């Protein structure tokens, strides 16, 4: 039997993700949205691309959670994106309500699913999904680190004129202004970037990475990034569905790792058929640890506003 994936929210991120998933041809996909008819229309359009591109994925659009029953993976993209001048944190209360309602319904119909949260502010929304679902932490994962790392890799590859495939990097921490691109561990074909790029230039690239989402929000004028975000979710789903056991940075509910507790923060994690199968603890320098702690404190401030107590 084919696997089943539900994507909640048929907006820019959701529908682009469904397109990418359909083209993978390894699962049937349900696209849910509250807007009547819209997910049905997008699903039909995507279904009709199948004969041209050669995929058999069944894509269904719906406004009824019953159609999402027994999903192997559910991705939550429903919620407001920010506008120019806003921080992701400004979306907290409005999106908390949406993510809470959505999670309740998902759990009702797919009690054994793995949830991937995309809605911003990411780390706090993953916290909401974990709390409302009552799932073990292995089955609630936030997507941010793959995207932030992809941005860092893109800029480094451009700087040195290398293939993006040869650039390895990790961006840890919360998905916000305080995220922690680990430039010390960034390499191009195994060479540390400190041997290839001047220190001040690395710092500029690190800052551009931190501002990566905002740069696109400003350019678009009315909405936020979706091509790279949907590609990033796809990488996580590949690793889970195909049990690839890839190690990718993602938002994980930490329970003592990195000296942090009861908080979603981006760290490297191994993803396989059970969801999060291992959390990798990289040995950090004092300044990296301090930066991660600062980023975690920013997430904690938001979680405190949510009014959720573990």
Ligand X SMILES: O=C([O-])CC(=O)C(=O)O
Catalytic residues, by residue number, are 175
Q: Is 69 annotated as a binding residue?
A: no
* Binding of residue 120 to ligand X (CB under 6 A): yes
The span of 22-30, 128-136, 166-174, 217-225 binding ligand X (CB under 6 A) equals 217-225
The dihedrals phi and psi of 292, each to the nearest 5 degrees, come to -65, -40
Which residue's CB is nearer to ligand NAI, number 33 or number 72? 33
What is the spatial distance between Cα 266 and Cα 249, in angstroms, rounded to a whole number?
A: 6
C-alpha to C-alpha distance for 246 and 272, rounded to whole angstroms: 7
227 is in an annotated binding site: no
217 contacts ligand X (rule: CB under 6 A) = yes
Stretch that binds ligand NAI, among 108-116, 195-203, 217-225, 295-303 (CB under 6 A): 217-225
The side-by-side arrangement of strands in the sheet containing 140-142 is: 59-62, 27-32, 3-8, 73-76, 114-117, 140-142, 246-255, 261-272, 275-279
Q: State yes or no: 148 annotated in a binding site.
A: no
Binding partner of residue 217 among ligand X, ligand NAI, none, CB under 5 to 8 Å per kind? ligand X
10 touches ligand NAI by CB under 6 A: yes
| 33 lies in the binding site for ligand NAI (CB under 6 A) | yes
CB of 192 to ligand X, least distance (A): 26
From the CB of 11, what's the least distance to ligand X, in Å?
A: 12
Tell me if 26 sits within 8 A of 242, measured CB to CB: yes
Query: 263 touches which of ligand NAI, ligand X, none (CB within 5 to 8 A by kind)?
Result: none
Among 71, 224, 232, 239, binds ligand X (CB under 6 A): 224
Q: Of 127, 177, 117, whose CA–CA distance to 148 is shortest?
A: 177
Under a CB-based contact definition with an 8 Å cutoff, are residues 79 and 13 in contact?
no
For the stretch 205-230, what's the b/e string if a residue is b when 16 or more beta carbons lie within 10 angstroms of its beta carbon?
Answer: bbeebbebbbebbeeeeebbbbebbb
Copy the structure tokens of residue 5. 């994936």
Q: Is 13 annotated as a binding residue?
A: yes
Interface with ligand NAI includes 12 (CB under 6 A)?
yes
Taking CB positions, which residue lies at the least distance from ligand NAI? 11
Could you tell me what percentage of the chain is helix, strand and coil, using 3-state DSSP and rounding each to the nearest 5?
50, 20, 30
How far apart (Å, rounded) are the C-alpha atoms in residues 83 and 45?
A: 28
Does residue 213 touch ligand X according to CB under 6 A? yes
Contact set for ligand X, span 54-93 (CB under 6 A): 81-82, 88
DSSP 200-243: HHHHHHHHHHHTHHHHHHHHHSSS---HHHHHHHHHHHHHHHTT
Beta carbon of residue 51, minimum distance to ligand NAI (angstroms, whole number): 27
Binding-site positions for substrate read: 82, 88, 120, 151
Binding-site positions for NAD(+) read: 9-14, 33, 95, 118-120
Q: State the residues that interact with ligand NAI by CB under 6 A.
A: 8-14, 33-35, 77-82, 91, 95, 98, 101-102, 118-120, 122, 143-144, 147, 175, 223-226, 229
């Amino acid at each position: 039997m084919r696997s089943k994936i539900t994507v909640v929210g048929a907006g820019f991120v959701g529908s682009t993700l469904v397109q990418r998933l359909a083209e993978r041809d390894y699962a049937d996909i349900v696209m849910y949205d509250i807007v009547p008819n819209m997910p049905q229309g997008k699903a039909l359009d995507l279904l009709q691309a199948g004969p041209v591109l050669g995929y058999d994925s069944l894509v269904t659009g719906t406004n009824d959670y019953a159609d999402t029953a027994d999903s192997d993976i559910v991705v939550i993209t429903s919620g407001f994106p920010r506008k120019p001048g806003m921080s992701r944190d400004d979306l907290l209360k409005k999106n908390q309500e949406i993510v809470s309602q959505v999670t309740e319904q998902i759990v009702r119909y797919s009690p054994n699913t793995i949830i991937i949260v995309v809605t911003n502010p990411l780390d706090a929304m993953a916290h909401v999904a974990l709390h409302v679902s009552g799932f073990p932490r292995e089955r609630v994962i936030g997507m941010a680190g793959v995207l932030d790392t992809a941005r860092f890799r893109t800029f480094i590859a451009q700087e040195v004129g290398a293939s993006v495939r040869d650039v390895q990097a990790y961006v840890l921490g919360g998905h916000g202004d305080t995220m922690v691109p680990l430039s010390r561990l960034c390499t191009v074909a195994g060479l540390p970037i400190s041997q290839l790029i001047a220190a001040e230039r690395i710092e500029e690239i690190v800052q551009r990475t931190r501002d990566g989402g905002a740069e696109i929000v400003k350019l678009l004028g009315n909405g936020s990034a979706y091509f790279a975000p949907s590609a990033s979710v796809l990488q996580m789903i590949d690793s889970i569905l195909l049990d690839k056991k890839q190690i990718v940075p993602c938002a994980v509910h930490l329970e003592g790792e990195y000296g942090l507790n009861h908080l979603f923060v981006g760290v490297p994690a191994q993803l396989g058929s059970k969801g999060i199968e291992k959390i990798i603890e990289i040995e950090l320098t004092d300044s990296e640890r301090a930066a991660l702690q600062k980023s975690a404190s920013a997430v904690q401030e938001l979680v405190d506003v949510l009014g959720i107590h573990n």
